[in-house]
Amino acid sequence: DAMVIQNPRYQVTQFGKPVTLSCSQTLNHNVMYWYQQKSSQAPKLLFHYYDKDFNNEADTPDNFQSRRPNTSFCFLDIRSPGLGDAAMYLCATSRDINPYNEQFFGPGTRLTVL
Amino acid sequence: DQQVKQNSPSLSVQEGRISILNCDYTNSMFDYFLWYKKYPAEGPTFLISISSIKDKNEDGRFTVFLNKSAKHLSLHIVPSQPGDSAVYFCAASETFDAGNNRKLIWGLGTSLAVNP
């Protein structure tokens, strides 16, 4: 089945220690998104790639970076995680940027910062 | 300032009855609305959507109603089933913004429990 895969499902890191979260897709979609969702909050878009074009949200901290080496993979790098970065990180894909195109989500990676 | 509001954090309904989940928005430029469903330990999955040129969209047991003048939409599930127990997110967007404002703006979600 075509899907969005996130690894790992659970990630524990130490305060200030860089961490990378991974997302892959078999849908061959053009757009890949990274969302942060904290407990009892709405998903918050961090950034998205349209093909190789990177689009950062204005309020995404510089501590968060992303890479998309090819169509299938996208990575979220947190350079110096703080306690406030503990959250669920959701990767999603869509065929195109227009909201008419359904977003397909992975299961998420829950990040714990000690 | 939340542009998409789901004021009921939770809702409990008996199996077979109607579930009504509500969503209000403040941005009059929103013209496309979506509902996503989320089970524990899974990502959200798309459920149903509606464009602002319509006031109703139906898909099986799920119907979304849009009242543009009130800036309000609702999701009706009839009849409700235990498998519908999940968190339901309302999301909204501007579809024709020439800039980059076509991202989805999400509500906080409503947790629906359908009791057998």
DSSP classification of residue A102: P
B36 located within any domain: yes
B74 located within any domain: yes
- Write the CB contacts of A40 (distance below 8 Å, at least 6 apart in sequence): B9, B108
Q: Which residue from A57, A98, A106 is facing B43, i.e. has the nearest CB?
A: A106
Instruction: Give dist(CA B78, CA B61) in Å, integer.
Output: 5
B21 located within any domain: yes
pLDDT > 70: percent of chain B: 94
For residue A41, the model assigns a pLDDT of 87
For residue A100, the model assigns a pLDDT of 82
For residue B67, the model assigns a pLDDT of 97
- Given a contact cutoff of 8 angstroms between Cβ atoms, the answer to whether A72 and A26 are in contact is yes
Interface of B with A (CB under 8 A): 2, 4, 9, 32, 34, 41-46, 49, 89, 93, 95, 100, 102-104, 106-109
Contacts with A97 from chain B: Cβ below 8 Å: 102
Our CA-based measurement puts residue A83 at a distance from the nearest CA of chain B, in whole angstroms, of: 22
Amino acid letter, B82: P
pLDDT higher than threshold 60 for residue A21: yes
Instruction: List the domain range (segments joined by +) for residue A57.
Output: 4-113
3-class DSSP state of A83: helix
Q: Which residue from A45, A99, A105 is facing B44, i.e. has the nearest CB?
A: A105
Domain count, chain B: 1
B101 located within any domain: no
> What is the average pLDDT across B17-30?
96
For residue B101, the model assigns a pLDDT of 58
pLDDT higher than threshold 70 for residue B98: no
> What is the average pLDDT across A2-16?
93
Lowest pLDDT segment from A84-88, B89-93, B97-101: B97-101
For residue A2, the model assigns a pLDDT of 64
B77 located within any domain: yes
At residue A97 the predicted structure's pLDDT band, cuts being 50, 70 and 90, is confident
Residue A81 forms contact with B (CB below 8 Å): no
Instruction: List the domain range (segments joined by +) for residue B26.
Output: 4-96+106-115
Domain count, chain A: 1
Query: Both tokens of residue B95?
Result: 């579809």
At residue B99 the predicted structure's pLDDT band, cuts being 50, 70 and 90, is low
Domain containing B62 — which CATH number? 2.60.40.10
For residue A104, the model assigns a pLDDT of 95
> What is the average pLDDT across B87-91?
97
3-class DSSP state of B53: coil
Q: What is the pLDDT of residues A34-78, one digit of tens each?
A: 999 998 889 999 999 999 999 999 899 999 999 999 999 999 999
Contacts with B32 from chain A: Cβ below 8 Å: 99-100
Asked whether the bond before A8 is cis by omega within 30 degrees of 0, the reply is yes
pLDDT higher than threshold 80 for residue A1: no
- Given a contact cutoff of 8 angstroms between Cβ atoms, the answer to whether A20 and A111 are in contact is no
**Burial (CB count within 10 angstroms: exposed 0-12, middle 13-18, buried 19+), residue A50:** middle
pLDDT higher than threshold 60 for residue B100: no
- Given a contact cutoff of 8 angstroms between Cβ atoms, the answer to whether B71 and B3 are in contact is no
B50 located within any domain: yes
At residue B97 the predicted structure's pLDDT band, cuts being 50, 70 and 90, is low
Of the candidates B54, B46, B92, the one whose C-alpha atom is nearest the C-alpha of residue A104 is B46
Which residues partner with A91 through β-bridges? Answer: A34
Domain containing A57 — which CATH number? 2.60.40.10
